[in-house]
Chains A and B, each alone.
Chain A
């Protein structure tokens, strides 16, 4: 190597100067960045610390990376017992766990999932094993090239208690109405209560969720409310009714509809009352509705009504018994009665559950 190939002292000095000033700039930027980081971290911590909702951050394997003090209060675990743990194994009740695990696996791959950015209501497990009703949102967050999820969880024990209380009050009010109607007609005392119980069993057999079943139950409890406009002597008449008297009785679904339709239920209560004497083939009353025009609640109500009525004593006849009731259903399945409803009713009858209700009604 000749001397001329070596860099000159000036060139080396220039490079050193450049390196030095470059380093100075790095140091300055580092300081700025650290200050900003500290500030944003402090701000984040203050927000997370004063929050009354539990905040949890999990990595893409579902392990807890962060929890705030409200999480400790809600779930009963100190922060160090939460960190690094599988969130769902620790805080989700057994029945949710498989879904959670599948959700996390799909989320890790795609950053997407059915629970993201939605308000969910479920239960969470406290450290002592009891379940806490909670409302939560899960939001995706990209951190260090990996998907994370931020969960904000709120204890809704009080809200749910208030909600349950409202529900109980609503059911009690409806029951009181039913009682008032049945007072006028001692022969059908308890009829609506029993129809409601049978309807609930059928709906449950058909796999309905409890929320929808509650609507059906309320409708069933007052399905004959329109009979308050039928004179008591017609209701308890033992002899044959005239056509005029019979048409007064046949008005009760429409009257019931008119009474209930102004109540803004979250279920089709007025409609099921209106339609509970309709038949699938259009041979029912009052509107000769057919098939799909009759709501499923009314189709169940019709079958439950038949089952109860045939099994009950009437002023004009003794109870005809379960065999007669089943014969009626089998004879008109598909024409009057919905096949799926009848099939579910038969399964419930076979298990002996309905007989218990009727026996309780006729000690």
Chain B
């Protein structure tokens, strides 16, 4: 069973992502803001993290930095999922150690492919 954490403040978007990834082999955990996301990441040790950029509490980038700074979590693959479509943000996200960078609106098939590829590579 693979654990996937979705952090996004928009409930509808979490619903879309959850529906897209729903699978008996996946356990999906949701967080509505950055602070809750980091707490759940520490507690649940997910196999992959999907992070929105703009969230109340901590931003996605701050969560990403915190994850990469903790030895126990640093290896967890992180996918940034954000409306900020500027190339500079993508660069920054990847520099900070994000595995992938998906723009909203995203293609559900692309999301599925990215998640499956990352989970397969890490197992």
Contact = CB atoms under 8 A, between A and B. Distances in A.
Interface stretch (B33-41, B43-51, B61-69, B104-112): B104-112
A32 B12 CA distance: 23
Contact of A145 (B16, B24, B105): B24
B12 A25 contact: no
Interface in A17-45: 18-19, 21-22, 24-26, 28-29, 32-33
B76 to A, nearest CB: 23
B83 A18 contact: yes
B25 interface: yes
A99 to B, nearest CB: 29
Contacts of B13: 22
Given A18-B83, A19-B12, A25 B24 contact: no
Nearest to B109: A29
Given A145-B23, A146-B24, A22 B109 contact: no
Contacts of A25: 105-108
Chain B interface, >50% SS class: loop
Nearest to A36: B109
Contacts of A33: 109
A144 interface: yes
B109 A32 contact: yes
Given A29-B109, A144-B24, A22 B16 contact: yes
Contacts of B25: 145
B23 A26 contact: no
B87 to A, nearest CB: 19
Chain A interface, >50% SS class: helix
Contacts of B108: 25-26, 29
Nearest to B25: A145
A31 to B, nearest CB: 11
Interface in A141-157: 144-146
A29 B104 CA distance: 15
Contacts of B12: 19
B24 A26 contact: no
Nearest to A22: B105
Interface string B77-109: 000000100000000000000000000111111
Contacts of A146: 24
B82 to A, nearest CB: 11
Interface string A249-287: 000000000000000000000000000000000000000
A245 B22 CA distance: 89
Contacts of B83: 18
Contacts of B104: 18, 22
A145 B25 CA distance: 6
A312 B42 CA distance: 90
Contacts of B109: 29, 32-33
Interface string B5-30: 00000101100100000011100000
A143 B12 CA distance: 29
A145 B23 CA distance: 7
A143 to B, nearest CB: 10
B123 to A, nearest CB: 15
Nearest to B10: A15
Nearest to B83: A18
Contacts of A26: 16, 108
Interface string A4-20: 00000000000100110
Contacts of A144: 24
In order of increasing CB-CB distance, the 7 nearest A-B pairs are A145-B24, A22-B105, A21-B105, A29-B109, A29-B108, A25-B105, A25-B107
9 contacts: A15-B10, A18-B104, A25-B106, A25-B108, A26-B108, A29-B107, A29-B108, A29-B109, A145-B24
Interface of B: 10, 12-13, 16, 23-25, 83, 104-109
Given A25-B105, A25-B106, A145-B25, 13 more contacts: A18-B83, A18-B105, A21-B105, A22-B13, A22-B16, A22-B104, A25-B108, A29-B109, A32-B109, A33-B109, A144-B24, A145-B23, A145-B24
